[in-house]
Amino acid sequence: MKSISYFSVPTIDISIPKKYIVKNTGFRNIKNKLLRYHLEVSPKVKYDKRKHIKVCMIGYDRSLQQLDKLGKRRWTNYFSGGHKIYFAKSENNIPVIKRILLDKKGKDFIVKGSKLPLKPKPQKREYKFGGKNGKINGFNFYLNEKDKLSKRERFEFIKRGNNYFVEVKDKIKSDFEIGELDRTLSDIELMNEWNLFFEKYGNHIKDFEKQWDRIYLKELSFGSKSSKRTKEGLKVKLLERFYPTKRTKIDW
């Protein structure tokens, strides 16, 4: 059987009225509410083999339960495509299942063995380095669409961030001015201030040393057979950009 593309299924409102009550007792055992409603309101028409097809001709010739066992998605796609269910006129002396007609154009949704229409794949969010609205390096916190952090992230960021400021001050013991995170600033201002600090002094923070190397020494492939001396030279060269008056010795 050929498969049906989901693009061929129009979007038509097929919602059931809230005040709908089943009047025909023969349909009360049908579990599929959408099918039960359309059977209840289906009109009587004269059978036209060019427009209609009998369900008994496509393998459903025993009872209504056979139609009920079909997946909800099949009937949803059938009715949302603008197709309907009918009862054949002047055939009152035969079983109900043999009087039910379908639109011939929509039979591919109901025929046994036919493949269902393909579901549209959800669109994936495109990856953007550094986050869509900004990223706090080291902490890996991302600002939302309103350029804000969650309350928990902001509290943790300011508390731990100020501790790292103190740690760097005690470690380098130099004349460089190192401030602290001001709680009155907005999240995006705090992010910019921290990222500048992280770029200069992140290698002095024990918790973030590996992340600093991965971001600012990404030109080297650490999985390759590059020499230790080459790595050291690149790191010294990078650190001299921040400390032009000092030579930095690195312990690997």
Domain ranges in the chain?
6-109, 124-216, 218-252
215's tokens: 């971001």
72 SS3 class: helix
Give residue 210's Cα distance to chain centre.
Answer: 31
pLDDT tens for the chain, 252 residues long, are 444 444 344 456 677 777 667 777 788 888 888 888 888 888 899 999 899 999 888 888 888 888 888 888 888 888 888 888 999 887 667 888 888 999 988 888 888 777 776 677 776 666 555 567 788 888 888 888 888 899 999 999 999 998 888 888 888 766 666 678 888 899 999 999 998 888 888 888 888 888 888 877 764 444 444 444 455 555 555 555 555 544 444 443
For residue 172, give the DSSP letter: H
pTM for this one? 0.43
Nearest alpha-carbon partner for 117 in 125, 128, 109: 109
- Alpha-carbon distance 79 to 85, whole Å? 9
